[in-house]
Structure 1
Amino acid sequence: MLLGYGAFVAIPVGVTALVLASVGYSGPAGHAPADSGAVPLYRILGVLALVTACAAWAGAMARRIGQPRVVGEIAVALLLGPSVFGALLPDVQRWVLPPEVFPFLNTLGQLGVTLFMFTVGRELSLTALRRDGLSASALIGHSGIAIPFLTGVLVALALPDTYRPDGVGAVPFVLFMGLTLSITAVPVLARLLADEGRLNTRLGTLAMASASVADVTAWCLLALVLAVASGGSPTAAAVTVGWVVFFGLVVWCVVRPLLVRLLGTRRPGGPMAAARTASIVLVTVLLCALATEQIGVHALFGAVAAGLVMPRTQAVEQIAWRVEGLTSWMLLPSFFMAVGLSTRLGAVHGAIGWLICLALLAAAATSKFVATMVPARLLRFSWRESAQLGAMMNCRGLTELIILNTGLAAGLFSPALFAMLVVMALATTAMTGPLLRLMDD
């Protein structure tokens, strides 16, 4: 053994040492020129670890006080952004969250939003919507879109011109404001109702069905509004809408049957089968998102479409569950932090600015509440049930933030208006649970 070790290990090591000694020492190794714009990996990893840990802690704290996790995650992102941490300790905040890391967080967050919208699409049941037809859920869902949308349009017309960025047309600005007041977050509402033990009740089932109707309508409206905003002219907007319709037909008539053939009968198998299923699912989501991004109506619309047509098999469910875990615990916190870093509450100047913010919050909450409660009352629900339904439909959550971030990226919001709408999204989501419990008494 020793002889063999000496022959095959010690002798080669010794010869290598002699060769290196004969070459001589020529100083430290040279380095390739570094990209001056590159962010060191350790900074990215450190920020990502901080963001993930803070989001997990804040989400857990929110759950302890009866709030959805998303409320805590949004709140901690606002605290770490320029509105609080950056205002109190600007130098420390820039060191902890260096500005050069922001593009990376934003990109990672956009990927998280794309995958999250795929899960939203999967939670929207077209079969249930077709079955409901013009039933209670359709009436409440569409009323919960139409009246807040009108309210948002009127609010936009009443706002001072300083809240509309230069170069933004009145029509896309007004339409997007209407859309921001119309949103109900289906995933957040589902988790809140499940935590409250209301998901499978008569009222909870109606709320989820109505929210699904409203969500499908809202995404169609978003595509239309983005087409108008990006088109620049009625003709260009009509062309964009035409491409959206063509995309929808291709997804429904071509992609859906193909996915049924590839995944419709697939059961969970070994690692190779799971890898094949995962690749088909992810490639479909990314290509659909790419298509709508190129059309000009944002990648999230394609991700929702992919979720709608994806087969509901056990194999796909397992892949979607894994995707949702990574998205919820790491990618979406990056999105929240990107939103927090973009939100400057200091842009809301003086008492007048905060009065406008409160008026916007009141308009959003009241319009959604009335738009849901009155139709429910006409459908012979009690006053208490109708009011609780109105509180449920006011849950805007993450979906609202996604819409707002899309509008900010399109240049449709001023920093002050964006900050006001983020406050509105956080407040209306946070009030849902307490209002429901208050009405139980």
Structure 2
Amino acid sequence: MDYKYLLDLALILLSTKLLGLVTRKFKMPQVVGALLAGIILGPACLGIIDNTNFIKALSEIGVIVLMFSAGMESDIHQLKKAGKASFIIAALGVVVPLVVGFAVAGVFNDPSVIQTDLDANRFLQNVFIGVILTATSVSITVETLKEMGKLNSQVGITILGAAVIDDILGIIALTIITSLADPSVAVGIVLLKIVGFFAFAVGVGFVTYILFKKWSDRHIDDHRRFVVMAFVICLLMSFCAEEWFGVADITGAFIAGLILSNTSHAKYMASRFETLSYTLLSPIFFASVGLSVVLTDMSMMIVVFALVLLGVAIITKIVGCGIGARLSGFNNRESLQIGCGMVSRGEVALIVANKGAAVGLMSPLLFGPVVIVVVVTTILSPILLKLSFGKKKKKDGGENGEPALSPPKPAGGTQEQ
């Protein structure tokens, strides 16, 4: 048996912590350091660690736990109030990148500019580039908001709600465009599955909440059982979302967290998951994003396309979501914060690109630009988010944000240094 994975984990945990502290010294979120650690250790730089299936699996569990914790720490009543605003923000955050991305692809995806050698309809290829830009990976934004103590602010709640809706709209867009290229995909069935998932989430969520509450009240003396059972619920909801309904597993995890957020033991369970997250799972997840960076040889024109696509990816999310926020009653500063919080594409864009490649809509030549967009937006998003909030005020109503890769303060005591 090869035990190198133990060394890999040790290097990831050490490097993410050290670089996290370095970036914190420069007033940047620590997740930026964790992302840089993955890039430095991975194939893009030193090549010490490969993004193995083991690391990928752990990182997937890491993002599931991260979104589950975010759900447990969210106020479901505030999410309901932000529902209309979140929908408007998500809708414009999908439409604007889709339209502008399609236009940019139309300029570059031409035989006289970039020859991709794909047989698929070029119009569909261009639309698909726009679909990739609609993706949003809110997991890193969640960690940054937690670090700043803004996760339960009005802006934080709205970003969470918009991200969930954005995920659904992105799935619909992806399904429609792939179905036009692949006759085996039925749009109607996929849309029906999405509706079915939310019906399933409401029904199962209500029953789960009642049963969990009754069970926990009978076993009040052993809180550790609550954490185990909560994790089971999280994993089952994640599995059902992805496997049965085609919805992202992190959406299922977030909804599982919401189901348990109103129980009397939510804060205790969230603190235990926070410990699991900062100790192992979060560093591995953030580092794995950097480890996935493998840039092939790119021509000058593809490099230019990558830079233009990157600019479009950043600007369209800020503008689209920002306009949606302004239409929903947020002021200019809050609208900018929401837009910055939706910039990161993360692993979601890579998943979308892979699905497009499977049906002949994504050329291997264009994977380099997509990877650049993913990495840079993932690193920039927490930086832009922190800059948009500016210097933290002392009157934050007790919202003390914890460092992204540092342990939470224990109840009733002082955090060890």
Normalised by the size of structure 2, how large is the TM-score?
A: 0.75
Aligned to 1:188: 141
Letter in 1 for 2:165: T
Aligned to 1:81: 42
Aligned pair 1:221/2:166, yes or no?
Answer: no
Aligned pair 1:291/2:240, yes or no?
Answer: yes
Unmatched tracts of structure 2, length 5 or more: 394-417
Deviation at 1:269, TM superposition (A): 3.4
Aligned to 1:432: 385
| Change beyond 3 A, Cα 1:288–1:102 | same
Equivalent position to 1:121, from 66, 71, 81? 71
Letter in 1 for 2:372: M
**How do residues 14-413 of structure 1 correspond to structure 2 at under 5 angstroms?**
39-41=1-3, 43-86=4-47, 93=48, 97=49, 99=50, 102-123=52-73, 125-132=75-82, 134=84, 139-140=88-89, 142-160=91-109, 174=127, 177-178=130-131, 180-181=133-134, 183=136, 185=138, 188=141, 191-192=144-145, 195=148, 199=150, 205-225=153-173, 227-228=175-176, 232-233=182-183, 236-263=186-213, 266=216, 269-271=220-222, 273-275=223-225, 277-295=226-244, 296-350=246-300, 352-374=301-323, 386-387=332-333, 389-396=335-342, 400-410=345-355, 412=357
Aligned to 1:33: none
1:364 & 1:322 partners in 2: Cα distance?
36
| Change beyond 3 A, Cα 1:418–1:122 | farther
Name the stretch that deviates more: 164-173 or 214-223.
Answer: 164-173
Contact 2:73–2:267, Cα closer than 8 Å, also in 1: no
| Change beyond 3 A, Cα 1:334–1:374 | closer
2:115 & 2:214 partners in 1: Cα distance?
49
Deviation at 1:120, TM superposition (A): 3.6
- Higher relative contact order, chain-length normalized (CA < 8 Å, sep 6+): 2
Deviation at 1:348, TM superposition (A): 4.2
Q: What number of residue pairs does the alignment pair up?
A: 376
Aligned to 2:370: 418
Tell me, what secondary structure is at the counterpart of 2:220? coil
2:379 & 2:168 partners in 1: Cα distance?
24
Between structures 1 and 2, the one with greater helix share: 1
Contact 2:35–2:379, Cα closer than 8 Å, also in 1: yes
Q: Which has the larger radius of gyration?
A: 1
| Change beyond 3 A, Cα 1:387–1:149 | farther
Contact 1:185–1:396, Cα closer than 8 Å, also in 2: yes
2:288 & 2:140 partners in 1: Cα distance?
21
1:172 & 1:213 partners in 2: Cα distance?
30
| Change beyond 3 A, Cα 1:69–1:409 | farther
Letter in 2 for 1:217: I
1:111 & 1:140 partners in 2: Cα distance?
28
Q: Deviations for 1:84-118, whole angstroms, at most 9, x for unmatched residues? A: 223xxxxxx3xxx2x5x712111111121222232
1:229 & 1:120 partners in 2: Cα distance?
31
Normalised by the size of structure 1, how large is the TM-score?
A: 0.71
Contact 2:93–2:321, Cα closer than 8 Å, also in 1: yes
- Identical pairs, percent: 22
Contact 1:163–1:416, Cα closer than 8 Å, also in 2: no
| Change beyond 3 A, Cα 1:410–1:329 | farther
CA RMSD of aligned residues (A): 3.7
Unmatched tracts of structure 1, length 5 or more: 1-38, 87-92
Deviation at 1:47, TM superposition (A): 0.7
Contact 1:244–1:292, Cα closer than 8 Å, also in 2: no
1:380 & 1:255 partners in 2: Cα distance?
31
Deviation at 1:48, TM superposition (A): 0.6
